[in-house]
Amino acid sequence: MHPAALNRVKCSCLLAAAVWLASGCSTGQMVVRGTQSILDSGVVAMNEETDLELARGAMPANLKLLEGMLIEDPGNTQLHLYAAEGFYGYTFGFVELQDSHRAQHLYRRCYEHARVALQQSGVTLDPETSTPADFEAAVGKAGRNAIPAMFWSASCLANWVNLNRNSPAGIAELASAATLMQRVIDLDDTFYHGGPHLFFGVYYGGRSPLFGGDFRLSEEHFRRAAEINHDKLLLVDVLQAEYLDRQRLDRDAFHRNLTRVIKAPDNLSPDMALMNAVAKQQAAELIKAEDDWF
């Protein structure tokens, strides 16, 4: 090789090494970050899965893989968000109805991952220890980059609270979850197929008006969620039946919503296939209890 060319190669190698050392990245971190596109594709593939047993079997291994990657790169916000989403989906779809005690612990793990992402996204106050006023002020300053972390923090925390109804701090924690989700609505109410509106559909519909429920608001949020996903996310009908229709003792609406889900085509929306398959399974279970509830 010509001496000048050799010198250029040496300089390039030294520069690359200097950049790598300056970044503070370990070899493990570099490997983890280099797999980002593969992880993105994996999430898409899981959301498109229609075989519930295959998804049930695959998700735990994927969750442990994510947690292993986080050992190498604990500051990776996107990995924490993937872990939060994964723990939420696995627990809601495959654990909660069968084992509520185990679901409590899994929702807590979901929340811990989301809370790290929330802090890394700029909301540094702890929703469980800060005052409501301070926390609301901090959340009010959050920008669009914090939307995923706020959404999953609120979702995981609310479901954990729902399974810990005897917790004295439950009401305050649920209020913090609502504060986070309201900020998501303010910034982008279409996020995650209208998920923020599903949250408030349950939030207002699952409680008596004597305890903060509001059936009119609940119905409005469920309607807006259906509008955002073009009525293709079957979970809207399932949650409306389970929380709003049951709470207001509307048996006809309960039966109608669940029957629609059960009869819906399997290919209603390919990118929401797994969620719709879970919704169909839950609708079939809920409708079995109709005579007991009405």
Q: How confident is the model at residue 1 (pLDDT cuts 50, 70, 90)?
A: low
Please report the pLDDT score of residue 9 as a whole number: 40
Sequence-distant (6+) residues with CB within 8 A of 245 are: 251, 253, 254, 257
Residue 142 within any structural domain of the chain? yes
Residue 66 within any structural domain of the chain? yes
Instruction: Report d(CA 241, CA 152) in Å as an integer.
Output: 23
62-114 pLDDT, tens digit each = 999 999 989 988 999 999 999 999 999 999 999 999 999 999 999 999 999 99
Q: In terms of pLDDT, which residue wins out, 138 or 27? A: 138
Residue 11 within any structural domain of the chain? no
Nearest CA among 191, 190, 189, 159 for reference residue 174: 159
Please report the pLDDT score of residue 127 as a whole number: 86
Residues 73, 28 contacting (CB under 8 angstroms): yes
CB crowding 171-207: b at 16 or more within 10 Å, else e: ebbbebbbbbbbbbbebebebbbbbbbbbbbbbbbbb
Q: How confident is the model at residue 128 (pLDDT cuts 50, 70, 90)?
A: confident
Averaged confidence pLDDT in the chain: 88
Domain of residue 104 covers 31-188
Average pLDDT over residues 125-151: 94
Is the pLDDT at 115 greater than 80? The verdict is yes
Q: Are residues 183 and 104 part of one domain?
A: yes
Q: Are residues 67 and 200 part of one domain?
A: no
Instruction: Report d(CA 176, CA 276) in Å as an integer.
Output: 29
Residue 10 within any structural domain of the chain? no
Q: In terms of pLDDT, which residue wins out, 101 or 15? A: 101
Q: Of 188, 213, 228, which one is at a domain's C-terminal end?
A: 188
196-234 pLDDT, tens digit each = 999 999 999 998 898 889 999 999 999 999 999 999 999
230-250 pLDDT, tens digit each = 999 999 999 999 999 999 999
Q: Are residues 104 and 68 part of one domain?
A: yes
Is the pLDDT at 17 greater than 60? The verdict is no
Residue 164 within any structural domain of the chain? yes
Question: Whole-model pTM above 0.85?
Answer: yes
Q: Are residues 162 and 219 part of one domain?
A: no
Is the pLDDT at 26 greater than 70? The verdict is no
264-279 pLDDT, tens digit each = 998 899 999 999 999 9
Residue 22 within any structural domain of the chain? no
Average pLDDT over residues 274-294: 95
Residue 18 within any structural domain of the chain? no
Q: Are residues 114 and 39 part of one domain?
A: yes
Q: Are residues 72 and 175 part of one domain?
A: yes
Q: Are residues 289 and 172 part of one domain?
A: no
Q: How confident is the model at residue 13 (pLDDT cuts 50, 70, 90)?
A: very low
Q: Are residues 151 and 164 part of one domain?
A: yes
Q: Are residues 209 and 94 part of one domain?
A: no
Q: Are residues 239 and 127 part of one domain?
A: no
Residue 2 within any structural domain of the chain? no
Q: Of 161, 188, 215, which one is at a domain's C-terminal end?
A: 188
Is the pLDDT at 5 greater than 60? The verdict is no
Q: Of 167, 188, 209, which one is at a domain's C-terminal end?
A: 188
Q: Are residues 228 and 129 part of one domain?
A: no
Q: Are residues 99 and 62 part of one domain?
A: yes
Is the pLDDT at 166 greater than 50? The verdict is yes
Is the pLDDT at 19 greater than 80? The verdict is no
Provide the Cα torsion 137, 139, 142, 147; round to 10°. -160
Domain count for the chain: 2
Is the pLDDT at 154 greater than 80? The verdict is yes
Residue 50 sits in a domain of what CATH number?
A: 1.25.40.920
- pLDDT above 90 as % of the chain: 74
Please report the pLDDT score of residue 221 as a whole number: 98
Residues 95, 106 contacting (CB under 8 angstroms): yes
